[in-house]
Amino acid sequence: MIPLITNEGVKPPMAEVNGATLIARSLREQGVDYMFGIVGIPVVPIAIAFQREGGQFYGFRNEQAASYAAGAVGYMTGRPGACLAVSGPGMVHGIAGLANAWANAWPMILLGGANDSYQNGSGAFQETPQIEAARPFSKYAARPDSVRRLPFYVEQAVRSSIYGKPGAVYLDLPGDIITGTCDEDEVDWKNRCPDAPRTTTPQENIDAALAALKSAERPLVIVGKGAAYARAEDEVRAFVEKTQLPYLASPMGKGVIPDDHPLSVAPARSYALQNTDLIFLMGARLNWIMHFGLPPRFNENVRVIQLDINAEEIGTNVPTEVALVGDAKAITKQLNDALDKNPWQYPAETTWRTGIQNKAEENLANVASRYKDDSEPMGYYRVLGQIRDMLPRDAIISSEGASTMDIGRTVLPNFYARHRLDAATYGTMGVGLGQAIAAAVVNPDKKVVCVEGDSAFGFSGMEVETACRYNLPITFIIINNNGIGGGPDELDPKNVPPSAYTPNARYERVIEAFGGKGYFVTKVAELEPALKEALADPKPNIVNIMIDAQSQRKPQEFAWLTR
């Protein structure tokens, strides 16, 4: 007799889940909220799944700009932004942002599509040694070995990007892993990795740092973007105000303490660096931006207290007298706690303070006339000074371009931490628009102003279409001098200088093609009305401002790069 077949004791079939869904769901579980990129084979399902899982996906026009946006998100939020790229050339474009995040110690994750794994070595479509290409700039680079273990790899990547010294990570995602499936009960799920631990330093180091500060005749605090990343602005400001120490902000350390704080020595930067006998680096590095800590920009006998998350950074270029290795927020709180028990302030009246004040007043007087110079064509200071006077106090500034950015660092103030994005440690041109878009999506309640040189704008100018498509209220300001460092007003087609671009180029018309408004400014009388209307416009817009091609920074005591 044939036995009866019943459903009794038979398990119902398990629900299947595909790789794209696991990738998206895992990213969201790990606190990745923003993804930027360009879809195509084989990564389209990842973008769709990411949106379905509640993430925000922004389609860009070039993977480079998308990758810069991902790194900026990591800096602003403390969790990595994701860049999604197709295999081969797309992934290679994304390495630009991977390298930028590596240099700046920002968390980001590059997701590179790849050929199906069974095609490796066969000359597959866009087959590329992607892990090898990413590895020099990545804290972690891996190719998942199965669909069910995708959450394991995503958690490892995110954790690696934010623990210790933050940085970039890469996941290589073959097409057959993205589209592959498994039963949900087979998935190696991983819980969200906690935020990075805020490591402290032994009390003896705190005591040594304060003793060194008390022993200095001409101390100077240097606040870097590491303090901004650590969200240490309240603690750093409290420390400076408790001690009354003069301080200098690095370019992206601006805003950790408001730029208009009375203890800022920014107007006397060169004087302060050259004459200080002890510097306290708070999340800043003695790299090229700080002239390596060496003569002629620094005293050859300068003493160093160094606070940094990365132990390997301690002692770079100049020996460190006191090392405070750990989290800037936690360690600055330790310093403040010690000062609460044993208060100390740097004296209110010293020759050091007087010297800084006198130099600051001299420098401010030397540049004051440039802000009021109504000659035409206009100069950098006249234009940037007008922008400065019209920006909301909490505006987020994204800036790039050689003179535009360098002069803008001294003219355009920041009053809040993580409100300035620029070419940063890597000196990367092309970051401005991507970073502005990232700032707008992370901070929808704030005005984002992207201040670009005309050369810098050209690297990623088509991303204004991205801003228009998502209706991001960004004002793009182009300071146009006809080329790299300035170009002629007319071109001889038979003899075009290497640095020249099309004279009087109407860049503002680019955004008009996508529904934004453009302004072309050549006269002083046009400047304020155009900026006023643009800054008040809730839609993306471009203000294209022609300046004198010969306009330069005020005379400098030193060249920009110390040799």
Quick one: which of 426, 422, 393, 419 has its CA closest to 405?
422
> Considering just the CA atoms, what is the radius of gyration of the chain in Å?
26
Instruction: Count how many Cα atoms sit within 13 Å of the Cα of residue 99 in the half-sphere of its side chain.
Output: 16
pTM above 0.85?
A: yes
Q: Residues 453, 479: contact at Cβ < 8 Å?
A: yes
Residues 215 and 345 both lie in one domain: yes
247-300: pLDDT as tens digits = 999 999 999 999 999 999 999 999 999 999 999 999 999 999 999 999 999 999
| Domains held by the chain: number | 3
Residues 139 and 230 both lie in one domain: no
The pLDDT value recorded for residue 126 is 87
Q: Which pair of structure tokens corresponds to residue 165?
A: 């010294």
- CA–CA gap between residue 278 and residue 25 (Å, rounded): 49
Q: Is residue 507 part of a domain?
A: yes
Residues 175 and 282 both lie in one domain: no
CATH code of the domain covering residue 47: 3.40.50.970
- Contacts with 341 (C-beta within 8 Å, 6 or more apart), sequence order: none
Q: Is residue 193 part of a domain?
A: no
Which of 355, 380, 403 terminates a domain? The answer is 355
Q: Is residue 343 part of a domain?
A: yes
Residues 89 and 126 both lie in one domain: yes
Cis peptide before 295 (omega within 30 of 0): no
Q: Which domain holds residue 141?
A: 16-186
Amino acid at 361: E
Amino acid at 405: M
Quick one: which of 315, 438, 361, 387 has its CA closest to 69?
438
Residues 75 and 146 both lie in one domain: yes
Q: Which pair of structure tokens corresponds to residue 6?
A: 């019943």
Residues 421 and 467 both lie in one domain: yes
Exposed, middle or buried: residue 444 (CB in 10 Å: 0-12, 13-18, 19+)? exposed
Quick one: which of 18, 17, 53, 19 has its CA closest to 33?
53
- CA–CA gap between residue 145 and residue 2 (Å, rounded): 44
Residues 221 and 180 both lie in one domain: no
The pLDDT value recorded for residue 12 is 55
Residues 234 and 103 both lie in one domain: no
Q: Is residue 7 part of a domain?
A: no
CATH code of the domain covering residue 292: 3.40.50.1220
Q: Is residue 360 part of a domain?
A: no
- CA–CA gap between residue 150 and residue 107 (Å, rounded): 20
Amino acid at 438: A
The pLDDT value recorded for residue 482 is 96
- Contacts with 410 (C-beta within 8 Å, 6 or more apart), sequence order: 266
Residues 109 and 240 both lie in one domain: no
Greatest CA span in the chain, whole angstroms?
109
Quick one: which of 80, 20, 77 has its CA closest to 46?
20
Residues 31 and 160 both lie in one domain: yes
Amino acid at 197: P
Collapsed DSSP state (helix, strand, coil) of residue 244: coil
Neighbours of 447 (CB within 10 A): 19
Quick one: which of 34, 149, 135, 49 has its CA closest to 91?
135
Instruction: Count how many Cα atoms sit within 13 Å of the Cα of residue 255 in the half-sphere of its side chain.
Output: 23
- CA–CA gap between residue 234 and residue 249 (Å, rounded): 15
Neighbours of 487 (CB within 10 A): 23
Element (H or E) spanning 522, and its range? none
Residues 383 and 520 both lie in one domain: yes
Q: Is residue 412 part of a domain?
A: yes
Q: Is residue 226 part of a domain?
A: yes
Length of the chain: 563
- CA–CA gap between residue 263 and residue 256 (Å, rounded): 13
Q: Is residue 6 part of a domain?
A: no
The pLDDT value recorded for residue 552 is 83
Residues 168 and 21 both lie in one domain: yes
Q: What angle do CA 65, 71, 77 make, to 5 degrees?
A: 130
- CA–CA gap between residue 287 and residue 264 (Å, rounded): 21
- CA–CA gap between residue 296 and residue 279 (Å, rounded): 16
Low-confidence ranges of the chain (pLDDT < 50): 1-6, 10
Instruction: Count how many Cα atoms sit within 13 Å of the Cα of residue 166 in the half-sphere of its side chain.
Output: 31
- CA–CA gap between residue 504 and residue 317 (Å, rounded): 44
